[in-house]
Amino acid sequence: MFKPTVGPIIGHTTTNHARIFLRGELQNNAPVFAGIRYRRPGEERWSHGVFAKLTIVRDMSDVIALNDLATDTEYEYQAGWFSPMSPVHTVETIQELPLQWPRDIYRFRTQSSKATIPRAYIVGSCRYLRMTAGIPSAPHLGDRIFASITNLAQQAEPPISAMLMTGDQIYVDDLNLFAPDREYKEILSKYRTAFSQPNIAKLMSSVPTYMILDDHEIEDNWPVNESKSDAYLYKNAIAAYELYQASHSPAHELLSSGQINRKLEHYWYQFTEGDIEWFITDSRTRRNLSANDRRILDKEQEQALCKWLIHSPARVKFVVTSVMFYPDRKAHGDDAWRAFPEQRLRLLEIIRTHGIKNVIFVSGDVHGSLTSRLSHSEDPHFEVHTIVSSPLCNSKLLPYAKASTFILDKALARTTTGDYNHELTSKVVSEDNFAHIVVTEGEIHVTYRDRNGKPLQSATIALR
């Protein structure tokens, strides 16, 4: 067996289930299979291999589901791919072959079933990795921050439950003015290169990683900049996104058979860990730009989000939106929630009128990091916070955000029942960084760290 050409990537992980993405390589017309075997550390015997047949339709990649795992348990696993001598082999018959597994051993941990224990997460976005003619330019610059995240994950207490990558994991349009990528094979190559750099590969092989797209997975400021010829680009970009980012997420339903439903209804999804829940929105591909019904989230998604906000018993509710919920930017704000004020106000009124506590909006996009608090002039019980983390690696062509980037001197929204006012609760970080979020019984502690893992600043959000 050979090492995966991309992966393994640990995706959605629960108390007894884990999804692992990996890619092999095309072998002329011969069949190709990928496999995973696992055990608890200290055990001599490995599990039976769990296999999948790889096809060119999925770029020789697949997601293997591990089921019936033990709760709050560390596992070690091996992953690889091979092409058997006989062309008639199936997923069932290759189980009997005496395989030589790759030596690399990876580790992951299932969730704890305890509801109220402290939990920790990493949040980041906007990882720029320039490629020219299919070749990455100085790829170590876009990869080095992941070594620092891995180092933190190896010693953090509480342990890191997951990495949330909230948009712009790749830049399909990094050379948009000169040589934009539009072909499917070019975009796939960009994903393979971006996700197989050594540091990010090591991190994703052990820490469950949840992703959602933003505009650069397609084109800058999509769909405002969409042209008639972009249908071809969108088809190719979104097909690659589904393979490399959505495939290992909870957007795919787990069937009663233990297999993953290949049908994908939408890109937004939810996941739960103890008394903490996450709702990952798709704030990019379901926009409606018409004047009479402007929406950043489609009706179905808005209804699902509101239902979740009102009825979920979670103590802490994180809402991920790849573009900023607030504060608004002075320039270029029309690509974010600022351009959809009616829908934003509807969500805020839902939260306020239902007395929903501990709602945190998490985003990236702006190439600057901050925390902020939203209050209501006539309702002292209303409070919403935002955590923004961006970028993991900036381009020299793009500026970092700073405090003067944002509109901070007037209300976010004015209504007949009062004003929604906001304030920064941290300084604005204007360098490459990631957020380390720790949720305890009484507070959320946010620490922004630079590319070397050094703390830049911290903020505390009191839970109610």
pLDDT in tens, 23-75: 999 998 899 999 999 999 999 999 999 999 999 999 999 999 999 999 999 99
Same-domain pairing of 74 and 212: no
**Is 1 contained in some domain?**
no
pLDDT at 96 exceeding the cut of 90: no
CA proximity to 164, closest of 273, 310, 261 = 273
Task: Look at residues 73, 90, 109 and tell me which one is the last residue of a structural domain.
Answer: 109
Same-domain pairing of 62 and 123: no
**Is 77 contained in some domain?**
yes
Same-domain pairing of 98 and 230: no
Q: What is the model's pLDDT at position 173?
A: 81
Domain count, the chain: 2
Task: Look at residues 51, 75, 109 and tell me which one is the last residue of a structural domain.
Answer: 109
CA contacts within 13 A on the Cβ side of 335: 20
pLDDT tens figures, 157-174: 999 999 999 999 999 887
pLDDT at 179 exceeding the cut of 90: no
**Is 134 contained in some domain?**
yes
Q: What is the model's pLDDT at position 176?
A: 52
**Is 114 contained in some domain?**
no
Cis peptide, bond prior to residue 223, ω within 30 of zero = yes
pLDDT tens figures, 130-153: 766 667 777 788 899 999 999 999
Q: The whole model's pTM is what?
A: 0.96
pLDDT tens figures, 296-314: 999 999 999 999 999 999 9
Same-domain pairing of 85 and 172: no
pLDDT tens figures, 190-246: 999 999 999 999 999 999 999 999 999 999 999 998 888 899 999 999 999 999 999
Q: What is the largest CA-CA distance in the chain?
A: 74
CATH no. for residue 192?
3.60.21.70
Q: Are 200 and 145 in contact (CB under 8 A)?
A: no
Same-domain pairing of 265 and 309: yes
Same-domain pairing of 187 and 161: yes
Same-domain pairing of 379 and 245: yes
Burial class (CB in 10 A: 0-12, 13-18, 19+), 257: exposed
Query: In the chain, pLDDT over 90 holds for what percent of residues?
Result: 86
Q: What is the mean pLDDT of the chain?
A: 94
Q: Which domain holds residue 67?
A: 6-109
CA–CA–CA angle 440, 442, 443 (5° rounding):
70
**Is 255 contained in some domain?**
yes
Same-domain pairing of 72 and 219: no
What's the rounded mean pLDDT across residues 412-440?
97
Q: What is the model's pLDDT at position 133?
A: 62
In the chain, % helix, strand, coil (3-state, to 5) comes to 20, 30, 45
d(CA 49, CA 410): 60
Task: Look at residues 109, 138, 170 and tell me which one is the last residue of a structural domain.
Answer: 109
**Which amino acid, residue 254?**
L
